């Protein structure tokens, strides 16, 4: 069974930094592109970033480009999101998500339960 | 950037009804579209990919159609467990979700 478990969510002050983690199990992690998606409570879904299976290719939404960094450690079956220069608009649930098919990036077939990041003074 | 819109923004229907949700892209995305269902407090669930392909394990009452800029998700006979919010997502380039359609089962 595929499992994705996010951690690292916290209350952080504006301008601060935070690192989220996602522990993956139940599938061959290093075969798949992985993503981060966020959702402001009560609002819609926003894709943030993806990283290729080998970590060599990364892409970001304009809203987080230059502030967030996605990375992965295939030896630990883990995905990360380093967030900096946080603003109140970054307050959201953050999900990691697995790409549906190997050698693809387009659809998300497994998601974690989400971790809440609250940016507040 | 490709913008996604959905209609209606909310719908209330009875068990057994046929429900259709529409998604429109601001430019041609071929068939690069998915549909997700999200229930309160839960992560989204992939229902349909590549516009019309049913994800494994998803009931056959769900179907998707369309290409280019206009897409539909149809639930042929609504069941009580189908409540939730439905999102479309374009996969032509940088992924983007529609604003969602809230489905309430009467």
pLDDT value at A112 more than 90: yes
- For residue B97, the chain A residues in CB contact (below 8 A) are 44-47
The burial of A15, by beta-carbon neighbours within 10 Å (0-12 exposed, 13-18 middle, 19 or more buried), is given as exposed
pLDDT of residue A120: 97
Name every chain B residue with its beta carbon within 8 A of the beta carbon of A109: 46, 55
Whether B36 contacts B85, CB under 8 Å: no
Which of B1, B91, B100 is facing A107, going by the closest CB pair?
Answer: B91
What's the rounded mean pLDDT across residues A64-93? 98
CB count within 10 Å of CB A116 equals: 13
Distance separating alpha carbons of residues B82 and A30, to the nearest angstrom: 34
Spatial separation of the C-alpha atoms in residues A57 and A41, rounded to whole Å = 30
All residues of chain B having their beta carbon less than 8 Å from the beta carbon of residue A106 are 32, 34, 49, 91, 95
Q: What is the pLDDT of residue A13?
A: 98
Contact B43 A113 (CB under 8 A): yes
Model confidence at A102, in pLDDT bands (50, 70, 90)? confident
Decide: helix, strand or coil at residue A35: strand
pLDDT reading at B14 higher than 90? yes
**B30-71 pLDDT, tens per residue?**
999 999 999 999 999 999 999 999 999 999 999 999 999 999
Structure confidence at residue B106 (pLDDT): 86
Question: What is the pLDDT at residue A6?
Answer: 98
User: Mean pLDDT across chain A, nearest whole number?
Assistant: 97
* Res. A47: pLDDT tops 90: yes
Residue B60 pLDDT: 98
CB pairs under 8 A between A and B: 51
């Amino acid at each position: 069974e595929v499992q994705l478990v996010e951690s690292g969510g916290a209350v952080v002050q504006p301008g601060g930094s935070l690192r989220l983690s996602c522990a993956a199990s139940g599938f061959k992690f290093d075969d798949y592109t992985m993503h981060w998606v966020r959702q402001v409570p009560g609002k819609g879904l926003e894709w943030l970033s993806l990283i290729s299976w080998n970590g060599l290719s990364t892409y970001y939404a304009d809203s987080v480009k230059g502030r967030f960094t996605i990375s992965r450690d295939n030896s630990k079956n883990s995905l990360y999101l380093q967030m900096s220069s946080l603003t109140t608009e970054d307050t959201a649930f953050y999900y990691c998500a697995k790409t549906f098919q190997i050698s693809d990036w387009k659809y998300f077939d497994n998601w974690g339960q989400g971790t809440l990041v609250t940016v507040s003074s | 950037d490709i913008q996604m819109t959905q209609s209606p923004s909310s719908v209330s229907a009875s068990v057994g009804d046929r429900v259709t949700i529409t998604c429109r892209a601001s430019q041609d995305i071929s068939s690069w579209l998915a549909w997700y269902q999200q229930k309160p407090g839960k992560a989204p669930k992939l229902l349909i990919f590549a516009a019309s392909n049913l994800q494994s394990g998803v009931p056959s009452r769900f179907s998707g159609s369309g290409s280019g800029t206009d897409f539909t998700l149809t639930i042929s006979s609504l069941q009580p467990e189908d409540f939730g919010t439905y999102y479309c997502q374009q996969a032509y380039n940088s992924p983007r979700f529609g604003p969602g359609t809230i489905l309430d089962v009467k």
